[in-house]
Structure 1
Amino acid sequence: MGTALGSLPATFTTKTARELGVHPRDLYRWRDDGDIIELSRAVYRRADAPQATYPDLLAVAHRAPRAIVCCVTAAAVHDLTDELEPTVQIAVSAAHNAVRIAFPPTTVLRFDPDTFELGIDEVEAAPGENVRIYDRGRTVVDLMRLRGRFGEPVAHAALNRYLHAPGARPALLLEYAKALDVFGPVRAALDVVSAR
């Protein structure tokens, strides 16, 4: 006897379903009948589950559980930018193999293993389902560090929004900047903003 759909978590992988006794035939039938939605290859969400705020982040987190949402994607989640990137940006430790995710479109950045865990936070991608993301300060510093890739305007806009939001911590930005070897540019940008 197969496992009932209701016994599966709201978001699950094919592997999880198989471990719970779901036959692939049932999985495909549920998908074809619209009882589950395929978020990514081998990642599904029950159609009766509460709506996900960030379904793409949820899908990517199930495909790459050690990855961390970063850069412009993280900035959008933290309301530090109005930019809309066509891909989900995730960081993986350079000490591990890179992941490849075709859907949702994903950009994988390899970060130094020594600072990979610096500034990790979580965002609720769906009710009761959290995804790892860099915190607001780390996101700003990463954008400053990678401004050649993502553009000076994106980095400076994120910095300005961060500094003008409640709870801004310029000293934390400098701590992150020192650890990530971008202290000079971050300090200079902070000086420009504070001089206005």
Structure 2
Amino acid sequence: MIKSKRFEQLDKLIVEHDGMLRTSQVIDCGIAKAIFYEYVKKKNLQQVAHGIYVSEDAWVDGMFLLHLRCSQAIFSHESALFFHDLTDREPSPYAITVRRGYSTTRLKAEGFSVYTIKSELYEIGLTTGQTPFGHAVPIYDMERTICDLIRSRNSIEMQTFQGALKMYARRKDKDLRTLMRYAGMFRVEKILRQYLEVLL
């Protein structure tokens, strides 16, 4: 009797969370691990990462899943451009930034573009964006993203780079004061001025 009640509870939970369940969520709802694992088996849920299960017919939000697996990762560079409507391409592979010293081997092996940054610059411009599925994930703001692009310009497609700068220059909500402040921190002030002189 208890089990069928718990299964009903899990059915509701999985619908609420768009076909994705975390072991920690289930335990927080007072459902025993053993019952949850039985449910996983019965419903044929797929384990997509440690403690994260999805139903077979779920459209998995890849960005949100990456955030759940690696809370240290902040969407940056081309991925951040996508969040800010500064590119018309959907980011593939996802570009993320982690603190220097964090092990990037597994993420790189899975094909993600991984950038590392020293700790004191890691949280500059940190904000939140919404994935196309409506989940909140950590991203860098527009101004930080522009500085990141300039720092990594040799590894970014010229078309993407120039397109983003042109779109940014046309934006009503751009914050040039913040942009110059960040540029000083990231030591790209001189190059940034050269680009802005042409665009503004």
Same-fold status (TM-score > 0.5): yes
User: Number of matched residues?
Assistant: 185
What is the 5 A alignment of 1:26-175? Answer: 26-30=39-43, 32=44, 40-42=48-50, 43-45=52-54, 55-98=61-104, 100-101=106-107, 105-125=111-131, 126-127=133-134, 129-175=135-181
Secondary structure of the corresponding residue to residue 114 of structure 1: helix
* Sequence identity percentage: 22
Q: Retained in 1: the 8 A contact 2:21–2:54?
A: yes
Q: Retained in 1: the 8 A contact 2:13–2:21?
A: no
- From the CA coordinates, give the structure whose radius of gyration is larger: 2
- Report deviation, 1:157: 1.5
> Which structure features the higher share of helix residues?
2
Q: Which whole-Å CA distance do the structure 2 matches of 1:104 and 1:96 have between them? A: 16
Q: What's the TM-score, normalizing by structure 2?
A: 0.77
- Report deviation, 1:107: 2.4
Secondary structure of the corresponding residue to residue 187 of structure 2: coil
Segments of 5+ residues of structure 1 without an aligned counterpart are: none
Q: What's the TM-score, normalizing by structure 1?
A: 0.79
Q: Retained in 2: the 8 A contact 1:99–1:108?
A: no
Q: Which whole-Å CA distance do the structure 1 matches of 2:141 and 2:42 have between them? A: 40
